[in-house]
A and B are shown apart, each in its own frame.
Chain A
Amino acid sequence: MSVGTSQPSAEGGTSRLWSALRWLRRHPTVLAGLVILVSVSLLAVFAPLFTIYDPERLDPLRRLKPPSAMHWFGTDQLGRDVFARTIYGSRVSLIVGFTVAAFACISGLLIGLVSGFVRVLDPLVMRVMDGLMAIPAILLAIAIVGITRSSIWAVVVAVTIPEVPRVVRLVRSIVLTLREQLFVDAAVSLGAKLPRILFVHIMPNTMAPLIVQATYVCASAIIIEAILSFLGAGTPPAIPSWGNMMAEGRTYVLVGWWLLLFPGLFLSLVVLAVNLLGDGLRETLDPRLRRSTTNE
Chain B
Amino acid sequence: MIALIIKRLVATTFVMAFVALFVFGLLHLAPGDPAAVIAGDIATKEDIERIRNALGLDLPFHTQFFNWLGAIMQGDLGTSIFSGRPVAELILQRVEPTLALTTTTILLSVVVAVPLGIVAAWRAGSWVDRSTMGFAVLGFSVPVFVFAYLLIMIFAAHLKLVPVMGYVSPTDDVGGFLRSIALPTVALGVTYVALIARITRASMLEAINQDYIRTAHAKGLGIIPILFRHALRNASVPIVTTVGIGIALLIGGVVVTESVFAIPGLGRLTADSILRRDYPIVQGVILIFSAIYVLINLTIDIIYIIVDPRIRY
A residues with a Cβ closer than 8 A to B are 127-128, 130-132, 134-140, 142-149, 219, 223, 226-227, 230-233, 246, 250, 253-254, 257, 260-261, 264-265, 267-268, 271-272, 275-276, 279, 290-296
Contact = CB atoms under 8 A, between A and B. Distances in A.
B22 A253 contact: no
A295 B153 CA distance: 24
Contact of A127 (B15, B37, B150, B252): B15
A265 B30 CA distance: 35
Chain B at the A interface: SS class: helix
Nearest to B259: A231
Contacts of B19: 131, 134-135
7 contacts: A130-B11, A134-B290, A135-B290, A143-B286, A146-B282, A250-B149, A267-B146
B256 interface: yes
A127 to B, nearest CB: 5
B204 interface: no
Contact of B255 (A138, A271, A275): A138
B277 A146 contact: yes
Given A138-B255, A231-B274, A275-B140, A257 B245 contact: no
Contacts of B153: 253, 257, 260-261
Nearest 4 CB-CB pairings of A with B: A131-B18, A138-B252, A264-B146, A272-B141
Contacts of A127: 11, 14-15, 18
B23 interface: yes
B186 interface: no
A145 B270 CA distance: 13
B270 A232 contact: no
Interface residues of B, number: 61
B301 to A, nearest CB: 13
Chain A at the B interface: SS class: helix
Nearest to A260: B149
Nearest to B277: A146
B15 A293 contact: no
Given A142-B282, A143-B26, A268-B146, A275 B15 contact: no
Contacts of A134: 15-16, 18-19, 290, 293-294
A128 B144 CA distance: 29
B251 A253 contact: no
Contact of A293 (B23, B142, B249): B249
A275 B18 contact: no
B248 interface: yes
A232 B275 contact: yes
Contacts of A145: 274
B108 to A, nearest CB: 19
A144 B282 CA distance: 11
Contacts of A291: 198
Given A130-B18, A136-B248, A232-B274, 18 more contacts: A131-B18, A134-B15, A136-B289, A136-B293, A139-B255, A139-B289, A143-B283, A145-B274, A146-B279, A230-B145, A233-B274, A253-B153, A253-B164, A261-B150, A267-B146, A272-B137, A292-B245, A293-B246
B276 to A, nearest CB: 10
A135 B137 CA distance: 25
Contacts of A276: 137
B251 A139 contact: yes
B210 to A, nearest CB: 18
Given A139-B270, A253-B157, A264 B150 contact: yes
Contacts of A148: 30-31, 37
B201 to A, nearest CB: 11
Contacts of B256: 138, 227, 230-231
Interface in B138-171: 138, 140-146, 149-150, 152-153, 157, 164
B149 A253 contact: yes
Contacts of A149: 41
A240 B276 CA distance: 22
B236 interface: no
B100 interface: no
A246 B150 CA distance: 12
Contacts of A143: 23, 26, 282-283, 286
B258 to A, nearest CB: 11
A293 B195 contact: yes
Contacts of B157: 253-254, 257
Contacts of B260: 250
B191 interface: yes
B242 interface: yes
Nearest to A220: B140
A223 B14 CA distance: 30
A276 B140 CA distance: 11
A26 to B, nearest CB: 16
A133 B34 CA distance: 25
A214 to B, nearest CB: 16
Contacts of B30: 147-148
